[in-house]
């Protein structure tokens, strides 16, 4: 983290972290639902320097006053009642301005240059729009003379739909910005527990010494979503769950679990180690594709006891679609640390619960001395919960209490629930952490170009395999844990998905 300028803070944030934020797509879903609430929280927490200004840019006709009204309405909808205080809201809304702009036309970009005239702060450009127009916006910004050599750019996922398209997009951004000023968001990296993984693994010798194939039998990563397509059918049907969730979020989680210790916490030290993991991911060849990967698509079912439509009955659906809304797979990191340790991944929409968790299953003791009836009792597990609540639990075996039970073992948790252990600290949304890091000019929670591209390389061979083998998705009812085949995939190895939710 050597890029930090100064650790001192003022009541309204470290003045060294002041920026001008130009937010492209300021009236879109992401901006209104996530970005403005996150920016507001940073301001309210005293982390946004006084001089920081925010310019909203979108196609709709607005002036600063009506734009502020839109943002205020979105904040009222998203924030809890006790998070809305008049002073903070007034100060935050006062930072906002608006310009109507067509992003793909060079005309009008001089407005950004004029806004920036004489400003002593670096500009951060946030591209909260589809990746296809990142190149146009970067080009128009440059051609209009709005950029200087301190300007940073934030881009959203997904970057492309395969390796070739991601390279084209990365080339277009890279023609204007150097890698050191490109911040590729994967919002899972901003989640508190995900950052805690780094602390857990590299600050605790207890885990550091056990983190390899000698002590770990297998790893599970589950990212289950309760929601369906939420009005995004057009986008989602082109992508599918592999491109939407595995290529980015699940592979980033896998990298943080599997990577070797970085030599320090600098962005590139961490990212170099993540890239090594991506390069070592085993490709799916031959029979592995049929045996170790399950694609699914939800049909009508129930959520919270209420009937919900199937994927093909959602609004705007193409009823012939073969797009997957669920993927489960068994993969491996082919290196000395992880040889022979399966990584089981699963993610899907319309599951019974919103649940993201990583379970590290440790091996059994080499010599067993307890009741033979209990020989199969679960070994130690480390359960890292990202959501809904965040926390870490270590399942250990202890003696079952009572006079009549003899030396019976009982699995139980050593549990760290962040909300109850640290009740005073609000757990910030991922976007708050990420925006703060951009303000500081720190890149360690952002994805480097080669990470994106190696992840695509691995996904591409999987997608190509599906296409070659004509692999239609297996159906699963909304509200279930996915196709039965995803359970069979793990039980054939004598294991099961961890279900103590
Ligand atoms: N929404 C989400 O939950 C997530 C989104 N993302 C990513 O974030 C980015 C934004 O997504 P999202 O907010 O959902 O998208 P939206 O389509 O909701 O928002 C995009 C915004 O950009 C505007 N816009 C698009 N093209 C132009 C143009 N040529 N000129 C001017 N304005 C334009 C749109 O205006 P108009 O409405 O007039 O078209 C809209 O205000 C995407 O890259 C997406 O993949 C990533 C993770 C989650
Ligand atoms: O990037 C995306 O993530 C969301 C899930 O994010 P979470 O923080 O709610 O777990 C997913 O619904 C969406 O399809 C995808 O684009």
Task: List pLDDT tens digits, range 471-496.
Answer: 899 999 999 999 999 999 999 999 99
Residues contacting residue 353 through CB under 8 Å, at least 6 positions apart: 224, 226, 388, 501
286 Rama class: left (phi>0) / alpha (psi -120 to 50) / beta: left
**Is 352's pLDDT higher than 90?**
yes
Helix (H, G, I), strand (E, B) or coil at 85: coil
Say what percent of the chain tops pLDDT 90.
80
Domains and CATH numbers, the chain: 15-156 (3.40.50.720), 189-491 (3.30.360.10)
Q: Residue 486's closest CA among 298, 330, 303, 360? A: 330
Q: What gap in Å lies between CA 277 and CA 266, rounded to an integer?
A: 18
- Do residues 332 and 501 touch, judged by C-beta distance below 8 A? no
Q: What is the pLDDT of residue 413?
A: 83
Local confidence band at 305 (pLDDT 50, 70, 90 cut-offs) = very high
Residue 347 forms beta bridges with which residues?
A: 223, 327
pLDDT of 5 strictly over 50: no
pTM over 0.80: yes
CA of 252 to the centre of ligand 2 (A): 14
Q: Is the peptide bond before 388 cis (omega within 30 degrees of 0)?
A: yes
CA distances from 183 to 42, 139, 166 (A): 18, 17, 15
Closest ligand (CA of 137): 1
Q: Is the pLDDT of residue 434 over 80?
A: yes
Nearest ligand 2 atom to alpha carbon 354: 10
Q: Report helix, strand or coil for 297.
A: strand
3, pLDDT greater than 70: no
Ligand whose nearest atom lies closest to the CA of 190: 2
H helices within 27-162, ranges in order? 29-30, 36-44, 64-78, 86-93, 110-116, 134-143
392, pLDDT greater than 60: yes
User: Which alpha helices (H) appear in 316-448, and where do they start and end?
Assistant: 418-421, 430-440
What value of ipTM does the predicted structure carry? 0.98
pLDDT of residue 134: 98
| Residue among 432, 440, 444, 435 nearest 5 (CA) | 440
Q: Is the CB of 244 under 6 A from ligand 2?
A: yes
Spatial contact of 327 and 296, defined as CB atoms under 8 Å apart: yes
Closest ligand 2 atom, CA of 236? Answer: 14
Ligand 1 centroid to 262 CA: how many Å? 35
Here the contacts of 115-120 (C-beta below 8 Å, separation 24 or greater) are: 115/20, 115/22, 115/55, 116/20, 116/146, 119/20, 119/53
pLDDT above 70 covers a percentage of the chain that reads: 96
Closest residue by Cα to atom 38, ligand 1, is 59
Count other C-beta atoms under 10 Å from residue 16's C-beta.
17
Indicate if the pLDDT at residue 444 is higher than 90.
yes
- Ligand 2 atom 15: residue of nearest CA: 244
Mean pLDDT for the stretch of residues 148-166: 97
**Rounded distance from Cα 251 to ligand 2 centre (Å):** 14
- Res 186: pLDDT: 97
Q: Which residues are annotated as a binding site for NADP(+)?
A: 59, 157
One-character DSSP codes across 166-220: HHHHHHHHHTTS-GGGEEE--GGGGSHHHHHHHHHHHH-HHHHTT-STTTEEEEE
| C-alpha 501 to ligand 2 mean position (Å) | 20
Neighbours of 468 (CB within 10 A): 9
Beta-carbon neighbour count of residue 206 at 10 Å? 10
- Using a 6 Å cutoff on CB, does residue 390 contact ligand 2? no
* CA nearest neighbour of 397 among 351, 347, 442, 362: 362
Instruction: Report the distance separating Cα 241 and Cα 439, nearest Å.
Output: 31
Residues in the chain: 501
For atom 13 of ligand 2, the residue with the nearest CA is 244
pLDDT band at 501 (very low <50, low <70, confident <90, very high): low
- Ligand 2: atom nearest CA of 157 is 1
> What pLDDT, on a 0 to 100 scale, did the predictor assign at position 105?
97
- Give the annotated binding-site residues for substrate: 187, 191, 225, 244, 349, 354
How far, in Å, is the centroid of ligand 2 from the Cα of 283? 25
Q: Is 340 left (phi over 0), alpha (psi -120 to 50) or beta?
A: left
Cα–Cα dist 12/76, whole Å: 23
Work out the mean pLDDT of the chain and round it to a whole number.
Answer: 93
Residue 219 pLDDT class (50, 70, 90 cuts): very high
pLDDT reading at 156 higher than 50: yes
Tell me the average pLDDT across 456-483. 95
- Find out whether the beta carbon of 225 lies less than 6 Å from any atom of ligand 2: yes
130 lines ligand 1 (CB under 6 A): yes
Tokens representing residue 131 in the block: 């990746």
CB atoms within 10 A of CB 299: 16
Say yes or no: CB of residue 103 within 6 Å of ligand 1: yes
Q: How far apart are the CA of 473 and the centre of ligand 2, in A? A: 21
Q: If you take atom 4 of ligand 2, which residue's CA is the nearest one?
A: 245
Reduced to 3 states (helix: H, G, I; strand: E, B; else coil), residue 309 is coil
What does the pLDDT read at residue 270?
97
Query: Which amino acids are annotated catalytic?
Result: 249
- 136 closest CA partner among 122, 124, 123, 125: 125
pLDDT in tens, 403-426: 777 788 888 888 767 667 666 677
Q: Binding site: residue ranges?
A: 59, 157, 187, 191, 225, 244, 349, 354
pLDDT, residue 1, reads: 36
């Amino acid at each position: 983290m050597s890029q930090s300028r100064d650790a001192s803070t003022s009541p309204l944030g470290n003045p060294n972290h002041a920026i001008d934020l130009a937010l492209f797509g300021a009236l879109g879903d992401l901006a209104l639902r996530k970005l403005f609430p996150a920016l507001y929280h940073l301001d309210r927490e005293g982390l946004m320097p006084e001089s920081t200004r925010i310019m909203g840019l979108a196609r709709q006709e607005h002036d600063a006053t009506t734009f502020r009204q839109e943002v205020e309405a979105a904040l009222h909808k998203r924030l809890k009642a006790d998070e809305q205080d008049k002073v903070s809201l007034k100060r935050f809304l006062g930072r906002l301005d608006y310009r109507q702009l067509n992003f793909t036309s060079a005309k009008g970009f001089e407005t950004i240059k004029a806004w920036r005239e004489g400003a002593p702060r670096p500009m951060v450009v946030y591209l909260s729009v589809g990746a296809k127009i990142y190149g146009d916006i970067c080009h128009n910004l440059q051609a209009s003379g709005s950029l200087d050599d301190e300007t940073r750019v934030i881009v959203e996922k997904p970057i492309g739909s395969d390796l070739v398209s991601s390279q084209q997009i990365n080339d277009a951004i890279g023609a204007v910005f150097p890698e050191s000023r490109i911040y590729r968001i994967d919002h899972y990296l901003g989640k508190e527990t995900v950052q805690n993984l780094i602390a857990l693994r590299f600050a605790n010798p207890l885990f550091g010494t056990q983190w390899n194939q000698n002590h770990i039998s297998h790893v599970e990563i589950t990212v289950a979503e309760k929601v369906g397509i939420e009005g995004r059918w057009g986008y989602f049907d082109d992508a599918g769950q592999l491109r939407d969730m595995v290529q980015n979020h699940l592979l980033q989680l896998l990298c943080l679990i599997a990577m070797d210790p970085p030599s320090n916490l600098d962005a590139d030290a961490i990212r170099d180690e993540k890239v090594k993991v991506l390069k070592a991911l085993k490709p799916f060849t031959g029979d592995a594709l049929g045996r170790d990967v399950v694609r699914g698509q939800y049909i009508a079912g129930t959520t919270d006891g209420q009937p919900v439509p199937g994927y093909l009955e959602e609004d705007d659906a193409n009823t012939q679609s073969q797009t997957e809304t669920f993927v489960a797979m068994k993969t491996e990191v082919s290196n000395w640390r992880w040889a022979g340790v399966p990584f089981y991944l699963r993610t899907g929409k319309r599951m019974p619960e919103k649940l993201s968790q990583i379970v590290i299953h440790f091996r059994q003791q080499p010599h067993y001395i307890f009741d033979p009836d209990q020989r199969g009792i679960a070994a130690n597990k480390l359960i890292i919960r990202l959501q809904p609540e965040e926390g870490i639990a270590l399942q250990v075996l202890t003696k079952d209490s009572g006079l009549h039970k003899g030396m019976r073992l009982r699995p139980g948790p050593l549990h760290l629930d962040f909300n109850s252990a640290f009740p005073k600290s609000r757990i910030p949304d991922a976007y708050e952490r990420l925006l703060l890091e951009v303000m500081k000019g720190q890149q360690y929670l952002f994805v480097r170009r080669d990470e994106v591209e190696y992840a695509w390389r691995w996904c591409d061979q999987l997608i190509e395999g599906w296409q070659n083998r004509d692999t239609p998705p297996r159906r699963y009812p909304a509200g279930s844990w996915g196709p039965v085949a995803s359970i069979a995939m793990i039980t054939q190895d004598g294991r099961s998905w961890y279900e103590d939710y």
